[in-house]
Structure 1
Amino acid sequence: MTRSVIPLRKAVRPVRRDSMLDLIQIFEPDRQVVVVNRPRIPVADAYLQAIAARLGSGFRYAMKAEERFPAHLLPEHPERMAFAADIDFLIEIFCDLLGCPQVGVRLEVMQHAMCPRFHIDHTGIRLLCTYRGPGTEWLEDSCADRSKLGPASAGIEDEASGIILDPAGIHRIAPYAIALLKGTRWQGNSGRGVIHRSPQVPMSSGPRIMLALDGLW
């Protein structure tokens, strides 16, 4: 795929090539989640700290895979291009991995947990990257009772509903990590999908900011 990519600062591509190759494990039938950790990007941290209040609730945007991410969707600031470049980098990885002709881009700005209960998504493969605040939590299948998903929980909180068989199976994705989550609409994955939830957002820390990418066909 040929793309016109935003020029990247050296600090914006901190993930080793061998780590990125780990992402292809998401295509294994029994893999429901793959996470590749990467270090924080100081210029992106500085940018988000400066403009978080101007992001509102975020945005949604659909674009062709060969296009580059339009930086004008983000508030103006000296470090805007560095942050836009990392988003573009993740879009490139995602589109190359899935071979999708288009991608849906969501930047979510959250003051509280968007989806606080453990659930599965009726999607294909989704990329998540939390830039600010706590990352998404996911639950190992061996530590979960899927019969308690959705309405079966009767509105009871996860910790009391019985969905969590062993709390040691709860994992929180680190900030800046690239996470691929498989949903029920991925081929051969009906009735499955990674069990996950949004974390609580501490009031003292300011908004949680997360990027989500979905392939469009």
Structure 2
Amino acid sequence: MPNVTPSDACLTRREIQLLVDCKPVRAPGHAMAMSRRVLPDRLRQAAHRHLATGPRLIVARGTFASIDTAVRQAFTAETQMLLEDMRILAQTFQSISGHDALRVRLERVVSDSCRKFHVDCVDLRLLCTYCGPGVQWTRDEGRTIAEAEPGAVVFLKGRCAPNWREDDTLRHRSPPLSVLPEGDRMRLLLTVDAADACGASADEPLVIAA
């Protein structure tokens, strides 16, 4: 994925801040970590452009290098800034999780998918909603619900995490879109996890769906 940010120093600062904010998720007793971000105008515009004109689904599995090469075809000059940010987030996930092989999924969401609070069958998952409402979570069975802002990077532990306990109270879900005004019922969601997350096979390393 090509480097299109103004300077390497800017990239480095962004990566360091993400690591500082999100690395604590590895510690015992931490089910979640989040890095709040205000997306630069160019990145926000690229994300909205991809949401409007890009593929509805991109899924790539493999090493960071192989994913880096495979997904370039799905982006244009107008959406390169989004591609670069995805690269940073994938590298951050790899650094924190220690996984050599990843699954990177960028999806246009238009329905109430995953509407029930739950815990994923993964060890660790990164979520970033570029457009639309972010992931929601609760620690009291839905009586109090928090929601990530667009651009926030959220790390969530799953059932396969070391020392995960069934009585861990944090659960998450996709925000219900059907309750929103019709023009707001769309999200652009990035998910990064292990290549074999949820029993996935690496036999199909790249999926691009229009």
TM-score (structure 1 length as normaliser)? 0.77
Counterpart of 1:196 (choices 166, 172, 180) is 172
Matched with 1:161 is: none
The C-alpha deviation readout for 1:45-74, integer Å capped at 9, x for no partner, is 212323323334312110203456244342
State the SS of the aligned residue for 1:35. strand
Q: Distance in 2 between matches of 1:56 and 1:7?
A: 21
Q: Distance in 2 between matches of 1:23 and 1:51?
A: 26
Q: Distance in 1 between matches of 2:128 and 2:96?
A: 16
Q: Structure 1 19/61 Cα, relative in aligned 2: closer, same or farther at 3 Å?
A: closer
Q: How many residues align?
A: 188
User: Structure 2: 5+ residue runs without aligned partners?
Assistant: 197-210
Q: Distance in 1 between matches of 2:65 and 2:146?
A: 34
Question: 1:185, CA displacement in angstroms?
Answer: 0.6
Question: 1:215, CA displacement in angstroms?
Answer: 2.0
User: Structure 1: 5+ residue runs without aligned partners?
Assistant: 145-163
Matched with 1:109 is: 108
Letter in 1 for 2:95: D
Q: Distance in 1 between matches of 2:109 and 2:18?
A: 29
Question: 1:190, CA displacement in angstroms?
Answer: 4.2
Matched with 1:151 is: none
Structure of higher CA gyration radius: 1
Contact 1:111 1:206 in 2 (8 A): yes
Q: Distance in 1 between matches of 2:54 and 2:17?
A: 34
Once the two structures are superposed, the pairs formed by residues 1-217 of structure 1 within 5 Å of their partners are 6-10=2-6, 13=11, 15=14, 17-18=16-17, 20-67=19-66, 69-70=68-69, 71-76=71-76, 78-140=77-139, 143-144=140-141, 164=142, 166-167=143-144, 170-191=145-166, 192=168, 194-201=170-177, 202=180, 203-205=182-184, 207-216=186-195
TM-score (structure 2 length as normaliser)? 0.79
Question: 1:131, CA displacement in angstroms?
Answer: 0.3
Contact 2:62 2:195 in 1 (8 A): no
The C-alpha deviation readout for 1:58-91, integer Å capped at 9, x for no partner, is 1211020345624434242x32221111000111
RMSD: 2.4
